[in-house]
Structures are given as C-alpha cells and as structure tokens.
Amino acid sequence: VFPNKISTEQQSLMLVKRLLAVAVSCITYLRGIFPESAYGTRYMDDVCVKILREDKNCPGSTQLVKWMLGCYDALQKKYFNNYWICLQTITECYHFKFKYTHNGPLLDFSSKNKTNDSTITCADTKKASILLIRKIYVLMQNLSPLPNDVCLTMKLFYYDEVTPSDYQPPGFKEGECEGMIFEGEPMYLNVGEVPTPFHMLKVKVTTEKQRMENVDKSILKRGETNVPLQVLSVDRDDPEE
C-alpha cells in the first residue's frame, strides 16, 4: 500500500486510490454488506485488511468495484471533491472528502503546535493512514447491527470551477439533489484525515445516534453542523476546502 517515498503527484495519487479502496472495503466488510467470497486479504504493515473484489456470485460487489473505478477517474482528473457511501433509509453515511494541493495540506494532522507549512513526510502519511483504518475498524465493530433490508448507494460531488458541466465518471449518472434525508437523529463524527504533499483525504461518518451508544467516544471527534438534524448536505463552505 505504501510507497517508499511520495515525491511525485502520481505516487500520491496511487496511495490515495489504495487507501480509498481499503477504507471502503473495510466498511462494507465489517458492516456485512457482501459475503466473505467478495473479499481478498491484504496487509498494511501489521494491520490485516479485507479488499473488495469482483465476484461473479455477488453482482453487488462487482458493481461497487466499477463505481470505485469511476471514482478513480474523477480523482485522477482532479474533479473529485466529495464522495458519499449511503445505506438507504438513510441510517448510515460515510463521507470522503478530497483536496488537491501543491503546497501541502492547510491543516496539520498530528499537532496543532506545528506550522501549517511543515513538510509532510512519507512516514507521516503512513502513520495517519494506519490510524485512520484502525479507527474505522473500531467504529464498525461497535456500531449496532444494520437492518436486514439496507441498500448501498453512492454520490459523488465535484469542484464546479474545474469540472466540465457534462462530465460523469464511468458508472455514474447526474444526480437530482445534493441533500439526503435521515429518518432518525443523526450523529456526525470526524473519523480522521490523511495528508500527502499533493492530496488530503478526510473521512466522516454520520449514523443514527442510538447506534453510537457503545462506542468509545475518545477515539473519535464529534463533528459539528449547522444544518437541521434530519437533513444531510455537502458542507461546501468548509473554510479548509
């Protein structure tokens, strides 16, 4: 997963693609969306992870892999801004945010005492990546079981100023709205972020509040939002974006 160095934008892009694949695979595996046969086993240093693959006996996993390839297309073109995995009712939402920069991330991930223009090393990125995956594992293992009739969907959002108006990556079509309705009372959580000298990946989770009763609150940072509780929308006005 991790290159020996991240000195080019292409090396950074490959890492972000792999990390996205690992995170999405972990979420779907630990939430029981697809059967065991739809996953292979890989290692991120000492962390064992399940990686989603195309399985002829599981059309859903094949569709999700195709969606991921569409995400890679948008990511490579630098159009990609937000990526949402939604379990319809909506009961859970996994929100990935992407940022592209040649000057390093604006927000240092490890210490507020460091300067914003500090150099991001490969070791920093690796440490943040493993921490992010471990947090996802802990969160998934503590959430209450999902209903039996859940349906997984995806939404992609783009940087409007650089994305052609007619662009849609393979496997996607134009959406009808930017918001999503939550049936229960949602809780917003900032899971973590991974910086490289060229990209920033952030992961947020929104789930029904009652599903969070057993989670150790010290591992996650509670997110804040000004939108009504039952409505989820893209926070395009985030000053860090």
pTM for the full predicted model: 0.78
Query: What pLDDT, on a 0 to 100 scale, did the predictor assign at position 102?
Result: 62
Model pLDDT, residue 116: 44
Predicted local confidence at residue 214, as pLDDT: 60
**Beta strand pairing call for 180-181 and 221-222:** unpaired
Distance CA 215, CA 103 (A): 36
Q: Which of 98, 81, 84 is nearest to 202 (CA)?
A: 98
* Residue-range domains of the chain with CATH: 9-211 (3.30.900.10)
* DSSP-derived secondary structure for 45-91: TTEEEEEE--BTTBHHHHHHHHHHHHHHHHHHTT-EEEEEEEETTTT
What's the confidence (pLDDT) of residue 142?
80
| Distance, CA of 135 to CA of 141 (rounded, Å) | 10
* pLDDT value, residue 121: 80
- At residue 2, the pLDDT reads 73
Q: Which residues pair with 194 in a beta bridge?
A: 201
> Is cis: bond before 6, omega within 30 of 0?
no
| Tens-digit pLDDT string for the chain (241 aa) | 677 778 888 888 888 898 999 999 999 999 999 999 999 998 887 788 899 998 888 999 999 999 999 999 998 888 888 878 876 567 888 889 888 876 543 333 333 334 344 577 888 888 888 888 888 888 888 888 888 888 888 888 888 888 898 899 988 988 776 666 777 788 888 888 898 888 888 998 888 777 776 666 555 555 544 333 344 444 544 444 3
